């Protein structure tokens, strides 16, 4: 790959927002590059590959792994350049308006516009702040769940009280022997239907409660968890087989903090954007969880609108006379080729 080549659009982040931005950028005939820190595309969905996702319009419920596969296929429709295993550490802008993106090895990429789609930053889960907890990470202390099978007929404690923790507890209820959910606050924070479902399930919910001590018989596996109530300072001990911590992810704002351009931030992290996903820096846009404005929708489907707005804004920035939006048409040559291939495949199966 020619590092000196200048792209129309460079997307930092290969999750749902970045992948849809790539698709839409190709649709608008923009020369596109995706740069992703992880060794694979898909973003944070890789944290819950077996979780069923219900909130993408027009799609039947599908697993995280299935959604990654479909998003990736769509995102690569127009053959963007894809760079994996690379962290962008710094963004600067030359006098001629070209953005210079420097990675952690001080290698650079050049782009006329940039879409930041880094979500909540590099995926580092917030870990349990108990001395010695790290020794259980190789046995039964979990921050991610690649597969639910390991929890079959087990007693599981889930710590967390937002959407992801609620979903995990409900998924585990179907296969685990017993599920406890604890939360440091007095009520859950999530979609109302899911909260009601959890509160009416067999999951035991303990509020105003945190983990105070992890106990082990063999010093390698957690056998008991001591819980502390924040209100009355009482303690309770339960026997467990598995412990799942879902306290969110550490926010990595280093890409902005290290950059030479002045980007307006909210809470020193989120990129403040207008309703067209444009930041305070001309030619730089955001999409997904990293974007903030008053209309922001924190669902996967919301990232698609962010991405579309960002690409349309980039197109108008590069070509002021261009149409404000693009229509997705089945008459697009790329789509026609894929439709023909799909029809041919279906006919072959019918013959068999």
| pTM of structure | 0.80
Distance CA 243, CA 89 (A): 34
* The predicted structure's pLDDT at residue 351: 60
Q: Is 289 annotated as ligand-binding?
A: yes
Same fold, 6-123+250-344 and 133-245: yes
- Using CA atoms, how far residue 281 sits from 34, 52, 62, 77, 98, in Å, is 20, 37, 37, 29, 12
* The predicted structure's pLDDT at residue 303: 94
CB 115 within 8 A of CB 12: yes
Q: Is 88 annotated as ligand-binding?
A: yes
Q: Is 171 annotated as ligand-binding?
A: no
Distance CA 240, CA 142 (A): 13
Structure tokens at 293: 């404005």
- Which numeric CATH code is attached to 6-123+250-344? 3.50.50.60
- Which numeric CATH code is attached to 133-245? 3.50.50.60
Residues of the chain with pLDDT under 50: 346
- In the numeric block, the tokens 């849809």 are attached to 20
Kindly provide the b/e burial profile for residues 319-328, where b requires at least 16 CB atoms within 10 angstroms of the residue's own CB: eeeeeeebee
Q: Is 123 annotated as ligand-binding?
A: yes
Q: Is 330 annotated as ligand-binding?
A: yes
Among residues 239, 249, 242, 227, the alpha carbon closest in space to that of 183 is found at 227
Distance CA 88, CA 133 (A): 31
Domain chopping of the chain, boundaries: 6-123+250-344, 133-245
Among residues 9, 2, 15, 11, the alpha carbon closest in space to that of 88 is found at 11
* The predicted structure's pLDDT at residue 25: 97
Among residues 123, 36, 95, 87, the alpha carbon closest in space to that of 260 is found at 95
């Amino acid at each position: 790959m020619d590092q000196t080549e200048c792209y129309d659009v460079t997307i930092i982040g290969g999750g749902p927002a970045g992948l849809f931005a790539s698709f839409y950028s190709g649709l608008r005939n923009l020369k596109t590059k995706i740069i992703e820190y992880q060794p694979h595309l898909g973003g944070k969905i890789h944290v819950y590959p077996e979780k069923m996702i219900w909130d993408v319009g027009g799609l039947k419920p599908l697993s995280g792994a299935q959604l990654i596969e479909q998003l990736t296929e769509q995102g690569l429709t127009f053959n963007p350049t894809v760079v994996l295993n690379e962290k962008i550490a710094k963004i600067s802008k030359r006098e001629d308006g070209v953005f210079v993106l420097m990675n952690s090895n001080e290698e650079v990429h050049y782009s006329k516009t940039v879409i930041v789609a880094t979500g909540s930053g590099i995926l580092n889960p917030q870990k349990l702040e108990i001395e010695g907890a790290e020794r259980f990470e190789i046995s039964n202390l979990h921050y991610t769940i690649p597969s639910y099978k390991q929890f079959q007929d087990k007693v599981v404690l889930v710590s967390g009280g937002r959407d992801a923790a609620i979903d995990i507890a409900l998924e585990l209820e179907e296969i685990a022997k017993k599920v406890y959910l604890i939360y440091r606050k007095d009520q859950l924070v999530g979609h109302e239907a899911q909260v009601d479902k959890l509160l009416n399930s067999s999951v035991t919910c303990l509020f105003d409660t945190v983990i105070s001590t992890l106990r082990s018989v063999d010093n390698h596996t957690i056998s008991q968890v001591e819980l502390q109530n924040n209100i009355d300072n009482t303690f309770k001990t339960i026997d467990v087989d598995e412990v799942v911590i879902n306290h969110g992810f550490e926010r990595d704002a280093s890409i902005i903090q290290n950059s030479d351009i002045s980007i307006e931030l909210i809470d020193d992290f989120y990129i403040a954007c207008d309703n067209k996903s444009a930041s305070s820096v001309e030619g730089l846009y955001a999409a997904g969880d990293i974007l903030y404005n008053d209309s922001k929708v924190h669902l996967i489907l919301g990232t698609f609108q962010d991405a579309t707005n960002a690409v349309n804004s980039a197109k108008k920035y590069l070509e002021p006379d261009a149409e404000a939006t693009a229509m997705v048409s089945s008459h697009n040559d790329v789509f026609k080729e894929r439709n023909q291939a799909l029809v041919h495949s279906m006919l072959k199966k019918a013959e068999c």
